[in-house]
Amino acid sequence: MPRSRRKHSRSRSRSRSYSRSRSRSTRSQSRHRDVKRRRHDSSDAYSKYSNERHQRSRLHERGTSAERRYKRSHHRRSPSSDHHREKRRHHHHHHNRHHSRHRRRQRRSYSSQSSRAPSVEDDGDGHLIYRQGDILQDRYNILATLGEGTFGKVVKVKDLTNDNIMALKIIKNVDKYREAAKLEINVLEKLAEKDPDSKHLCVKMLDWFDYHGHMCIAFEMLGLSVFDFLKDNNYQPYTLEQVRHISYQLCYSVKFLHDNRLTHTDLKPENILFVNSDYDVIYNSKRFDPFQKKEVKRIKNTDVRLIDFGSATFDHEHHSTIVSTRHYRAPEVILELGWAQPCDVWSIGCIMFELYLGITLFQTHDNREHLAMMERILGPIPYRMARKTKVKYFYHGKLDWDEKNSAGRYVRDNCKPLMRYINEEDEDHKQLFDLISRMLDYEPSSRITLAEALTHPFFDKIPLHQTLFSRERSHSISR
């Protein structure tokens, strides 16, 4: 107790002795309680720290290559590891050391073999943990990682039965992605029945299998996506002739889907791959910006393939309310008015603009702002659509949007009417933007179809050797 609050007693010495003893005992108990509290607090802090560490490790699962190697080396186990761990828990320490030495010898001798038993362990996000040299299904030797998405990862593999190099899409061990993969396989199988030689430029599926809960789909090996090439080229846009050929192929390929009552629903530059992304380096003589690089990459061959049919939907199937990646999403999807094949046409219009200028047409992540950008670039949203929608973005048939706040100023300063984006005032450039404007018609029913788009004057200058002919009659593949 504080000195000022102590009471002085005249009791006998035994009493004083008892009081001192009791005081010492109380102080001892108090110290003991403090120690226990500190230990408890320390334990809580450690528990919190451990939880935070676990969360950080999941958030940064991708990390650097060194971190990934570290994680793989510390978290990989064979299917029988649980059994060994249970045995180790009940054995003597000396016996454990003996087993540990034996396991190390096993690992050394096993690593010297030509192949290694692949892991069947997943990381916290459901990705299969693998490393270079793993062999799946006793057939596919993993050589490298090509890319990663929300669905899983794509790896470069060698088919040991014929030494072919292929791309293997390994889907996460998560129910919704597994089911989406099964739907994609179904679509790809039906496309292959209709077009066994891939004349309509859809990626060719070569094999599929279920690997311990991971749906795996093997594809022909292709080059970079048109987006990745653009990004690696410092977002220098494609030439008009390249835009023409890529857009022509895209319209032709997606028309094949539409003819067979299928909507892709996720068209974007990331899902259009060059067959071969080899390039030349050329001097950029038309630099509009003095900070642009003098040398740019020029793709040698603009042949492309359409990929990612995980969201493709037949007319008779359930249509999700929201589809498409944000920047390529049609107004009828945002307004929840229902969608069909015309939503793909809108996406193609956005893609063609991006190939031509190297920038995204609608750079936003908000629905209301997205609609405001549309109005700034394309004019007012039709009254019929504004009145019919149930979403709360309109007031008396007009978009509820404040042009004077920061978001309004951003849209006004960064968006302008579509035709003002044309770089050169010649007929070819005007034809391109005429076609884009027809693809970006608000009304799905009046939006240009892909059959009509392929006859647009913009495509008249496609060289004969790049012209695609479809002599076969279209038959439904949806049943």
Q: Give the C-alpha separation, 312 to 343, whole Å.
A: 12
pLDDT tens, 296-334?
999 999 999 999 999 999 999 999 999 999 999 999 999
**Per DSSP, what are the bridge partners of residue 167?**
156, 219
Looking only at the bridges linking them, the beta strands covering 214-220 and 295-299 are: unpaired
Cα–Cα nearest to 251, from 272, 230, 231: 272
Q: What is the pLDDT of residues 74-84, one digit of tens each?
A: 333 333 444 44
Q: How far apart are CA 433 and CA 356, in angstroms?
A: 10
pLDDT value at position 345?
A: 98
Q: Which two tokens stand for residue 179?
A: 């089911």
- Indicate the DSSP class of residue 29: H
The pLDDT tens digits of the residues spanning 16-67 come to 444 444 454 555 555 555 544 444 444 444 444 344 434 433 333 333 333 3
Percent of the chain with pLDDT over 70: 71
What is the distance between the alpha carbons of residues 462 and 43, in angstroms, rounded to a whole number?
71
pTM reported for the whole predicted model:
0.73
Q: Which of 226, 185, 223, 183 is nearest to 206 (CA)?
A: 185
**366 is an active site residue:** no
The one catalytic residue among 123, 195, 259, 266: 266
CA distance 448 to 455: 11
Exposed / middle / buried, residue 150 (Cβ in 10 Å: 0-12, 13-18, 19+): exposed
Pairing relationship of beta strands 164-171 and 205-211 according to DSSP bridges: unpaired
Taking only the tens place, the pLDDT of each residue in 161-189 is 999 999 999 999 999 999 999 999 999 99
Alpha-carbon distance of 275 to 54, in angstroms, equals 41
pLDDT digits (tens, 9 = 90+) for 335-369: 999 999 999 999 999 999 999 999 999 999 999 99
Spatial distance between the Cα atoms of 206 and 161, rounded to a whole number of angstroms: 13
- Say whether 169 counts as a known binding-site residue: yes
Spatial neighbors of 104 by CB under 8 A, at least 6 apart, are none
